[in-house]
Chains A and B, each alone.
Chain A
């Protein structure tokens, strides 16, 4: 048992050191990195970040990532919440068929949708557009967000709405002023998980958007690696780009870690 615990701590330490190493390396010059891979940034190169943001195109891409992730997640939650609420409340055949229909989407791998969505968006001129990519993310988000929120809403006691109805509140008002505030935790969790998903999404981003001012961070990183391979890797700048993808996730996780873990395990763990 003691050995096993030791092993776990070693793995934990390796994970932490890896993050630290990526960050430190992002502050170092390329030749220096290869000569002493584990060295400290004795001669720090914060300009790696400047180069990444400008020449690497990571600046614009970061902005796009923030925009697409935030807006598509807001839209996804705004669409899914009323639907999930009704599906949780009404116990009719239609409602359970629809709940199943949404849940089935959880089993569909993204590669099934990539070709049809590419063709469809091209026909309405929404490829190479942040709006198009955002729409795709909203669509992809539906199964999980509806599933997650249905779980949350079925935990909200129905007495609350009964009281609101007796007080003469209409359905929309009941939903917005009584149900949403009570289920706020669930809505925030759904939003967070969607942001994380959209932030890291690569397949659709890679396929749909190519224009330099339309790409998101993962695509910028892939492009950077591709061009650098031709003229020798600028590792310092590349690790700066990696940090730009990594840092928001790390910040989010150290701030709201428990909520994120709970959200990602809810409905599975009892």
Chain B
């Protein structure tokens, strides 16, 4: 779950200035000798269980295959069929909606929380409580929502006490997807708030004190100190969100506690589509289509990540 996309740490400073003729010291020689024995095993596991499967997925995506019989070459036609499939188009739109709409809301709330939490007492405690949901399997929230929002469930009971005669049909198919996004936003904000706050804690206090003396309001302090100085971290968070939002799966599978059959297509994202095509409960598996859909999401992550990094790049502020 926790991932970080940044320039690899090995390249960052750290360590001491190397002499020009590095490589001749005993330590250097020793490092050179043990490099492959140390890196090799991890690389082997990573290659076999990660890199080769990606290649295999790309290759499978060019065939029509049910996993048992013979493979039939389809080439890039698979991708055309994919985009003509209404279920896939819905999934793709939903994925993008989670990514951009869900992302915008998540970051708006996270930044608002940062603004409030920075100036709050017991903020470490509040931060921890808000963070916790991201350690819980998302299907727990899906199932809990199925109970809480059921027609006679607790939420409607409370609304009844408050005098609402006709509470919304929370779990009707039309409302399901917005509910999923809302749940997602609620569980994700704590995580991103924690990351942004970790950066905000590094900002020297005297900047805020000076601003306060100059009469800057809390919001202006946020706008002119917090935001610019935490910008790099916020941009990394945006990349992180892109990667993790595309993987969402359990929440959709179990939302409303529905696993007896697959959830309604209106709520699918591309991860759900891959699962449904590759491991269907009634029809034959369509591995070619499934892997093609998976690769579309991979390419999407790559393109959006590059775009985000370009858009959000900015000269670093020194402090």
Q: For A19, list chain B residues within 8 Å (CB).
A: 132
- State whether A193 touches B270 (Cβ < 8 A): no
The residues of B that contact A180 with a CB separation of less than 8 Å are none
- CB-CB contacts below 8 Å: B247-266 with A: 247, 249-250, 253-254, 257-260
Decide if A268 touches B6 in the complex (CB within 8 Å): yes
* Interface status of A119 (Cβ within 8 A of chain B): yes
| B269 and chain A: residue at smallest CB distance | A111
Given the known interface contacts A15-B130, A79-B45, A139-B50, the answer about A98 and B39 at a Cβ–Cβ threshold of 8 Å is yes
CB-based contact B199/A111 at 8 Å: no
Q: Which residue of A is nearest B147, CB measured? A: A235
Find chain A residues with CB under 8 A from B152 CB: 34
Known contacts A107-B302, A200-B136: does B49 contact A136 (CB below 8 Å)?
A: yes
Q: Are B38 and A83 touching (Cβ within 8 A)? A: yes
Q: Is B86's CB within 8 Å of the partner chain A?
A: no
With A221-B143, A249-B135: A91-B154 Cβ-Cβ less than 8 Å: no
Complex interface: chain A residues within 8 A of B50 (CB): 105, 108, 113, 139-140, 142-143
Contact of B46 (CB < 8 Å), options: A4, A5, A142, A199:
A142
**Bound complex: CA of A6 vs CA of B144, how far in Å?**
25
Which residue of chain A has its CB nearest to the CB of B270?
A: A111
Contact A225 B259 (CB under 8 A): yes
The verdict on B240 contacting chain A, using a C-beta distance below 8 Å, is: yes
The reply on A232 being an interface residue by CB < 8 A is no
Q: What residues on A are CB-neighbors of B240 within 8 Å?
A: 268
CB-nearest residue of chain A relative to B126? Answer: A12
Contact assessment for B253 and A83 in the assembled complex, using a CB-CB cutoff below 8 Å:
no
Q: Interface SS of chain A: helix, strand, loop or mixed? A: helix
Quick one: which of B91-149 are within 8 Å of A by CB? 112-113, 115-117, 119-120, 125-133, 135-140, 143-144, 147
- How far is A143 from B33 in the complex, measured between Cα atoms in Å? 24
Of the four ranges (under 10, 10 to 19, 20 to 34, 35 or more), the interface on chain A belongs to: 35 or more
Quick check: is A196 within 8 A (CB to CB) of the other chain? yes
A138-B45, A261-B194 known; A110+B247 contact, CB < 8 A: yes
The residue that A12 contacts in the complex, of B129, B247, B275, B290, with Cβ under 8 A, is B129
B5 adjacent to A1 (CB under 8 Å): no
Q: Are B2's CB and A193's CB within 8 A?
A: yes
Inter-chain contact A115/B290, CB cutoff 8 Å: yes
| Cβ-defined contact, B42 with A82, below 8 A | yes
Of the candidates A115, A171, A261, A263, which one forms a contact with B287 in the assembled complex, judged by CB atoms under 8 Å apart?
Answer: A115
Cβ-based interface call for B31 (8 A): yes
The yes or no answer to A87 lying at the interface (CB within 8 A) is yes
Cβ-closest 3 pairs across A and B: A139-B49, A269-B198, A83-B42
